[in-house]
Amino acid sequence: MKLLLKGARVVDPASGIDGIRDVLVDGDRISRVDTSIPAEAAVGAAIVELGSSLVVVPGLIDMHVHLREPGYEHKETVATGTASAVAGGFTAVACMPNTNPVNDNASVTRFILKQAAAANLARVYPIGAVSNGSNGEHLAEIADMREAGCVAFSDDGRPVATAALMRRALEYAGMFNMPIIDHCEDRSLAGEGVAHEGFHAAQLGLRGIPAAAEDVMVDRDIVLAHATGGHVHIAHVSTAGALRAVQAGKSRGARVTCEVTPHHLTLSDERLRAPLIYDTNLKMNPPLRGTTDRDALLAGIRDGSIDVIATDHAPHHADDKRVEFDRASFGIVGLETAVSLGFDRLVHAGIIGIGRLVELFSVNPARILKVPGGRIASGDMADITILAPDLPVTVAAAAFRSKARNTPFDGWSLRGGVAATIVGGRVVFANTAVPQAAGLERRERRET
C-alpha cells in the first residue's frame, strides 16, 4: 500500500527540514520526501491533500507510560493503553515494569510484546526492572530482558533503592550501552507525603514531599553516572534543584538525560485548593511543585537542558481516586492530552517552536532509547504523526480511549491537537474533527 501526503509543513529537526513537503509512504517505509512528488511518481498511492495548516512530524514517542498489564487490567491493558497512545499522536510508547508480576524477566517482557502485537496499534518498548521484583536488592536479568526486547531499565514507581545497586546497574547496563531510568525520590525524606511540601500542603494539612527528596537522589545518580560512565535518565524531573543538578552534570560530562511531564509544566501546587479542593486527580508522584519549580522547568524546556517530555501516563480505576486524598493512588493519565497541552502551553505561549516540540516528543526519546524513529527520511520506518496546531480541543475524559479517566485537565479548552497517527505506514488514528484527515480515516476503515 502506498500513501502520498501532500502539501503539509514537514518539521523534522533530525533532517533539518521545516517546510512544505510531500511525503510518500510505500509499505511500512518512507520512500521519498520532496518539495513536490507528482502523482505519476506515486502510482497506486492514496493521495491525501493535507495542506500547510497541518504539520507532519516524526512519530511521537512517549518513553514513560504505565500500561498496567499484566496484573492491573482493570486500570489499563496494553490494547487500551496503545489505543490511547495513537489517539494522542504517539506511534510508540515505552512501558514501565511495575506490573504484577513485575517485568523483571524475559517471559514477562515477551508477554507484553505479544499483547502489543495483538493490539497492533502503537509500538511498545518494554522497560525492564533494575532489580528482582523492583525490590531494590539484586540485579534482575538485564541481558536476558534486553534480548527479549527491553530498551531500558528502571524500578519506576520506586527509586533504585541504594547507591550500591544504582552503581552496579549503571555498570552492568552500561555494558550494553543502555540507560537506567530512575524515579528519584529519597524515601526517608518523602515519608508518607502526598503533596509538595510547601505553603499549600501546609495549609491543607497534607503531608509534604520536600523538593530535597528528589534533589538529593538526582545528585546521587549523577555522581554515580559520572563515576561509572553509565547513562542515567532522570524520570519526571519536578524541581528546580533537580534540573540544576542535571544541567551541572551535563556540563561536567556525565551521561545524564532527563524528562518532564506535561502536568509539571502546566500546573503547580496552588491547584490543590481551587477550583476543586483536595482533588485526587492532582495527586501524583512526584507531586505538583511550586510555581518557581514550574517556571524553572519551562526555562529548561526553552534552553534545551530538558531532553524529553514524557507523560508518566498512570491510569487508575475510579475507585482508586474516589477516596480521601491521602488514600488515593498517585498518578494521572496523559497520553491523550500531552500534545494539546504542549501546543497550547508551550508553542502558542511562545516558549518553544514546533521543531523543539518534536525534539522533546520524538527525536530525543528515540535517541535515548536507541529505537527507530525521530526522523522523516527516505528509507525510515513510516512512523508519522500529523499535527493540527490550531485545532480547538476540549479535553473530554469520558471520551478517552484509555480505560482510565483520572485527569485534572477534563474540560480544558486548548489550541492544538493530533490529526492522524501513522505506524509502519498504517493509519492507526485519524481525527474526524480535522477535515483533511477524512481521507486518512477512510483509509483507516478500509484497513481495520
Partner 1 sequence: MSETASRLRGKDLLGIADLDVSEINLILDTAEAMKEVASRPIKKVPTLRGKTVINLFFEPSTRTRTSFEIAEKRLSADTLNIAIAMSSVVKGETLIDTALNLEAMAPAIMVVRHSSSGACHLLARTCRAGIVNAGDGTHEHPTQGLLDAFTIRERKGRIAGLKIAIVGDLLHSRVFRSNILLLTKLGAEVWACGPPTLMPPELDRLGVHATTRVDEAVDGADAIMMLRIQLERMQGGFFPSLREYFTVFGMTPERVRLAKPDAIIMHPGPMNRGVEIASEVADGPASVILDQVTNGVAVRMAVLYLLAGGGENEVAA
Burial class (CB in 10 A: 0-12, 13-18, 19+), 348: middle
Check residue 115 and give left, alpha or beta (phi > 0: left; psi -120 to 50: alpha): alpha
Report the run of H or E that residue 180 belongs to, with start and end.
strand 180-182
Closest CB 406 distance from partner 1, rounded Å? 15
Based on the shown chain and the rule CB under 8 A, indicate whether residue 202 belongs to the binding site for partner 1: yes
Cβ-proximal residues to 407 (8 Å cutoff; 6+ apart), any chain: 281, 332, 333, 334, 337, 395, 397, 400
Closest CB 432 distance from partner 1, rounded Å? 35
Interaction pattern, residues 51-70, with partner 1; x per rule: CB under 8 A = --------------------
- Of the pair 117, 277, the CB lying nearest partner 1 is at 277
Q: Which of 89, 208, 262, 315 binds partner 1 (CB under 8 A)?
A: 208
Cα angle 147-152-157, degrees, rounded to a multiple of 5: 125
Measured N-to-C along each axis, helices 240-251 and 211-228 cross at an angle, to the nearest 10 degrees, of 10
Based on the shown chain and the rule CB under 8 A, indicate whether residue 409 belongs to the binding site for partner 1: no
Phi, psi of 144 (to 5 degrees): -65, -45
Report the run of H or E that residue 403 belongs to, with start and end.
none
Based on the shown chain and the rule CB under 8 A, indicate whether residue 198 belongs to the binding site for partner 1: yes
Closest CB 318 distance from partner 1, rounded Å? 11
- Of the pair 328, 366, the CB lying nearest partner 1 is at 328
Cα angle 239-95-360, degrees, rounded to a multiple of 5: 50
312 included as an active-site residue:
yes
**For residue 257, what are the β-bridge partners?**
233
The interface with partner 1 within residues 305-334 (CB under 8 A) comprises 319, 322-327
Closest CB 206 distance from partner 1, rounded Å? 5
Cβ-proximal residues to 276 (8 Å cutoff; 6+ apart), any chain: none
The interface with partner 1 within residues 138-197 (CB under 8 A) comprises 197
Q: Which of 102, 173, 206, 333 binds partner 1 (CB under 8 A)?
A: 206
Q: Which of 27, 51, 205, 435 binds partner 1 (CB under 8 A)?
A: 205
Q: Which of 248, 277, 396, 433 binds partner 1 (CB under 8 A)?
A: 277
The interface with partner 1 within residues 210-269 (CB under 8 A) comprises none
Based on the shown chain and the rule CB under 8 A, indicate whether residue 445 belongs to the binding site for partner 1: no
- Of the pair 176, 199, the CB lying nearest partner 1 is at 199
- Of the pair 327, 445, the CB lying nearest partner 1 is at 327
Q: Which of 12, 155, 156, 312 is catalytic?
A: 312
Based on the shown chain and the rule CB under 8 A, indicate whether residue 444 belongs to the binding site for partner 1: no
* C-alpha grid cell, residue 180: 537506567
At residue 68, what is the residue type? R
- Of the pair 114, 322, the CB lying nearest partner 1 is at 322
Phi, psi of 325 (to 5 degrees): -55, -45
Closest CB 214 distance from partner 1, rounded Å? 15
Q: Which of 207, 244, 250, 317 binds partner 1 (CB under 8 A)?
A: 207
Based on the shown chain and the rule CB under 8 A, indicate whether residue 199 belongs to the binding site for partner 1: yes
Whose grid coordinates read 530482558? 145
- Of the pair 206, 404, the CB lying nearest partner 1 is at 206
- Of the pair 323, 396, the CB lying nearest partner 1 is at 323
DSSP 197-248: TTHHHHHHTPPEE-HHHHHHHHHHHHHHHHHH--EEEE-S---HHHHHHHHH
Q: Which of 204, 299, 351, 377 binds partner 1 (CB under 8 A)?
A: 204
Size of residue set near partner 1 by CB under 8 A: 19
Q: Which of 161, 278, 367, 442 binds partner 1 (CB under 8 A)?
A: 278
Cα angle 243-287-136, degrees, rounded to a multiple of 5: 80
> How far is it, in rounded angstroms, from Cα 230 to Cα 167?
9
Number of neighbouring beta carbons within 10 Å of residue 38? 9
- Of the pair 205, 392, the CB lying nearest partner 1 is at 205
Strand segments, DSSP code E, in 51-98 are: 55-58, 60-65, 90-95
Q: Which stretches of the chain bind partner 1, using CB under 8 A?
A: 197-199, 202-208, 277-278, 319, 322-327
Catalytic machinery residues? 312
